[in-house]
Amino acid sequence: MNRSPHSIGPVCFCAALFALFAQAALAGGPALTKISLPALQTGSLQTITIEGANLAPHPRLLFDLPLQSQTVKPGATAAKFECEVALDRATSPSGIYLLRIATDEGVSNALPVAVDPFPQLPFAADIAALPVALHGALSGNQVLRTTLTGQKGASLVVEIEAKRYGSALNPVLHLLDARRTQLAWAQEAGNLGGDARLVATLPADGKYTIELHDALYQAGAASRFRLRIGAFPFADFTLPMALQGGHAGKFLLVGHDEAAKFGPAITAGNRYGVQPLVGYGDFAGFRPGFFTSDFTEILNDTAAGGEAVATPVGISGRILHPRTENLQTVRVQPGQKLHIEVHAQRIGSALDGVLTIRDAKGNQLATADDQPNTADPALDYTVPPKTTSIQVALKDLEDRGGPNFVYRITVAPVDQPDFELSASEDHWEVPRGGQAMLSLSVMRQHVAGPIKLQFNHLPPGVKPSSDEIPAGAERALISFAAESPEAPVAAGMISITGQAAETPLLRAVLAPENNLFKEQPWLREGLALGVTQSAPLILAWNAAEQASALPLGGVFAPQIKLTRGANQTGPVRLSLLTSQIMPRKEKPAEKGKPAEKGKFEDDLARALRLEHAVTIAADATEGAVPVLVPGDLPQPSYELAIKGELLSADGKMVLATAYTPVRRLNTARSLTLELTGGTQIEARAGSGATGKLHGKISRAAGVAGPVTLTVEDLPAGVQANSLVVGAEQSEFEFPITLNFGAAPGALSGAKVVATAAPGGPGSSPARSNAVAVTLSVVKGEQPPAEKALRLFEDEQAFVDQLSEGDGKISLVHDDKYSGQAAFKVTPLQRFNHALPGMAIKIREKPAADEYRYLRFAWKKKGGAQICLQLNHDGRWGPAENLPGKFRYHAGKGECYGGSLGVSDRLPAEWTVVTRDLFADFGEFTLNGLGFSPLDGEYGLFDHIYLGRTVADLDSAKKP
């Protein structure tokens, strides 16, 4: 992205034998672990040994370059084979490339392989001829030496590649003459990613020795390296460092053979990102890269200010001389908000930049130094009024300079659109008749619309499930299908690009990050896909299943069909894949420990998820997959797929994996509210006859239980009653009564809403559409002294609303404190964080519809503890801004890390508890309740009331 562009510094080699790219292969697919040679020499025939797993049948190499020939030698096995390989020098520019193995069972992970014209030899004590590339390993305090014969005046370059591909070696190089006098030495360099390079002119004919060791003589075990020796050209940077997409430009190469002239013109394509430079000679193994951007790109490495340019702009340059400051004039608009950033240290430059912003007269307006984790400066800057140009100045912190003090400055509006696409895998295997799954992450920066995808070089017969990422989505699921059983078995390199309407350039889908990509980011664009023989397991959606939407707050329960291959038996475990990014919530305090600030965990209650684990028996071919749908999903649509794992008979081993096609489903309300008798009624403020709303409720499949009707968006100080519509009811009469004292007259803007118990523990409740109503408020009689607010006294609806938690709950009639029934809860607990219609204010001096005291009865069977929890202001437990613990317990020890004890004894018989909520916890809003037996067999709860006074509670006589 433009704020943090990919590295455009030195490229690097990653020896294949180090296997940095080794990943677990999909079941049955090939896995590549080792290649015998770290590099391939162009223009020669070489034999390489490939090691891994599942390397049969019919192994073949997949390479980023065209292979002149490849021949697998006899004796190949599934774990190892030899292959003769030839690369044509004319069509094989030096560089680092990705090599994979393809078989009839798929395509492997990638390993990096260098390509250059050097002979590739094991490290030895003597070098017969130059140039050469030696590969080996070094451990501990070991010092390696090799000797060569040189001629007076000859140039010699010695470069080691180790740290750039993850080796533990911190290399130091020495060049010694025949008398062992040191002529040159080199240690880690930023432009080489921590590796070393020395350059020397030999003073005489004779023998010379190259020594290599770790800087601290503490190299890790078998620290791998590759040493290139000879008179070869190299370049670490290009100037300019970037080109605008679709525009042409010439580059100056920064390196040992730097010439004071530019090379041939190159036209940048429309692919955003870092590309390797081609057409500028054949460098020995490495070539620099340049960045293709959305910006105007200029080269300015002077102190004169340059010709003024407009934003957005990229400014490449370098500080060639000590005590120099480079300057660029940029046209701006008053009030414009800009992001100005330097890239230097992060791309291997020696520059430790100091950024200064000045006005047209040279007065300093702002300055910036290091950012976190980098010496590169950046700042957000708002252009002052009446300012139409600024000067962007850059210098080295220590007033140094030199050829490698290169930089790129970007000046762009803070809302400059940008995005990045990354995949969770870098290769896929598509079985004939089946699916493979691509999971894409989308990083958006002021890009809100849909992103169109383009799939390039897919094998014949392979189709993606979609070519578009929906607007606003930060993750996407796409399935690759080879639906025809006649699809040819094939494998190849592919690429995927995306384009949003907000930006003209394509963004490539990138493979997961790897150390190698830091130095050669274009390799992240290398993806692969193979079509394989028919799979041992195929999953599909049941065509008869017609559901086309996700019911918010409900359950989506599609039917899945599966087909096992010949001789395949065993159960199939199913799991859910979705495009939803897992919601996060603040991590609660652990028992006996204070809560930690800034600690978060997955919020499963707000995620699309399976209601329970699903396994299809060995003798079954279909089954339902109940998906819980939270009521507050923020996006209008989501992608879903089901993953199936064929298990061994004992269920302990996964034999094969399969996926359904991806389905994109819109969200839909699971409750629909309709008023059938008009939306204007008379509402009594106080007691007396009042008007009624008539209507009906439609429930989507998967939504059951009672529904609560409430009136929202009432003026301050006005409250209305609620109505619970039973689980078996759809039609209703809703008499609207307002609190006594509400001002008479027309009242518009109010809305009636229905809510149901959530679709799963912790989920938000299902919520209907809101229907606007007009209330004609009339004065009613003052009601008698308000009694206690009854929360539970036999109500099945209250029990049904306690839908969260891992315990079981039921209404019982044979053991109660009062009325006709109590409710039983088994450990650990049952709760609802937002009971329908409950947003009750607890106050010191309660007014109408406000309360202070709580009374309840409880009883415990077995165990050592029982707990009642209060959800206050949307959260459980202690809060920094409120006193108290918002939990009551009886028995031994506090519950959930903090609770107020009401008795040391467990209530083995029915016990009534009366508490002053204000005295215990201060003022708060009560949103929900939790009933927690915690241990033992079960807890019983009954007779739950709120009162403004204790006398109010006493008025709720025991029925």
Spatial CB neighbours of 264, under 8 Å, sequence gap ≥ 6: 250, 279, 280
pTM: 0.77
d(CA 386, CA 332): 10
**Residue 12, Cβ density class (10 Å: 0-12 exposed, 13-18 middle, ≥19 buried):** buried
CA 878 to chain CA centroid, nearest Å: 31
Residue pointed to by tokens 């704020």: 3
DSSP 588-625: PPPTTSPPPTT-EEE-GGGS-EESS-EEE-TT-SEEE-
DSSP for residue 285 = S
- pLDDT on residue 761: 54
CB contact at 8 A, 173 and 211: yes
Q: Which three-class secondary structure string do you get for 879-909?
A: ECCECCCCEEEEECCCCCCCCEEEECCCCCC
CB atoms under 10 Å from CB of 86, counted, come to: 17
d(CA 448, CA 471): 6
Angstrom CA distances, 137 to 122, 143, 167, 488, 950, stand at 10, 11, 10, 43, 83
Residue pointed to by tokens 């994996």: 657
Element (H, E) at 950: helix 950-955
d(CA 956, CA 959): 8
Give ∠ CA 343-348-350 in degrees, rounded to 5.
85
Which amino acid, one-letter code, is at 626? P
Question: What is the SS3 assignment for 17?
Answer: helix
DSSP for residue 885 = -
- pLDDT on residue 11: 31
The two three-digit tokens of residue 362, written as one number? 């040279």
The two three-digit tokens of residue 493, written as one number? 């390199």
Residue pointed to by tokens 């309660």: 846
Residue pointed to by tokens 């890239």: 343
d(CA 126, CA 393): 51
d(CA 430, CA 484): 11
For residue 801, report the phi and psi dihedrals to the nearest 5 degrees: -75, -15
User: Max alpha carbon distance in the chain (Å)?
Assistant: 117
Buried b (16+ CB within 10 A) or exposed e, 153-191: eeebbbbbbbbbbbbbbbbbbbbbbeeeeebeebebbbb
Question: What is the SS3 assignment for 901?
Answer: strand
Element (H, E) at 160: strand 155-161
Closest to 1 (Cα-Cα) out of 569, 463, 442, 394: 442
Spatial CB neighbours of 748, under 8 Å, sequence gap ≥ 6: 772, 774, 775
Positive/negative CA dihedral, 544, 549, 550, 553: negative
d(CA 447, CA 430): 32
Computed over its alpha carbons, how large is the radius of gyration of the chain?
A: 36
The two three-digit tokens of residue 462, written as one number? 């392979």
Give ∠ CA 790-792-796 in degrees, rounded to 5.
130
d(CA 262, CA 253): 8
d(CA 275, CA 408): 16
User: Residue 57, preceding bond cis, omega within 30 degrees?
Assistant: yes
| Mean pLDDT in consecutive groups of 10 residues from the start of the chain, 959 residues | 39 34 52 91 94 94 92 95 93 87 93 89 96 93 97 95 85 96 94 91 97 94 90 88 92 70 78 82 71 92 81 94 94 96 93 95 93 93 95 95 94 94 95 93 94 95 95 95 84 94 91 82 92 90 76 88 89 96 80 66 89 92 91 90 93 92 91 92 92 92 79 85 85 91 90 78 74 94 77 91 90 93 95 86 88 95 95 82 84 85 92 92 92 95 93 76
Residues in a beta bridge with 413: 338
CB atoms under 10 Å from CB of 7, counted, come to: 19
Provide the pairing of β-strand 111-116 with 789-792.
unpaired
d(CA 941, CA 925): 22
The two three-digit tokens of residue 867, written as one number? 């707990």
- pLDDT on residue 874: 79
Question: What is the SS3 assignment for 46?
Answer: strand
CB contact at 8 A, 805 and 930: yes
The two three-digit tokens of residue 647, written as one number? 């298990």
Angstrom CA distances, 162 to 13, 137, 224, 349, 634, stand at 8, 10, 6, 19, 47
- pLDDT on residue 391: 95
Question: What is the SS3 assignment for 524?
Answer: helix
Closest to 159 (Cα-Cα) out of 209, 232, 258: 232
For residue 608, report the phi and psi dihedrals to the nearest 5 degrees: -60, 130
d(CA 291, CA 7): 8
Pure H helices in 616-702: none
Which amino acid, one-letter code, is at 726? G
CB contact at 8 A, 113 and 17: no
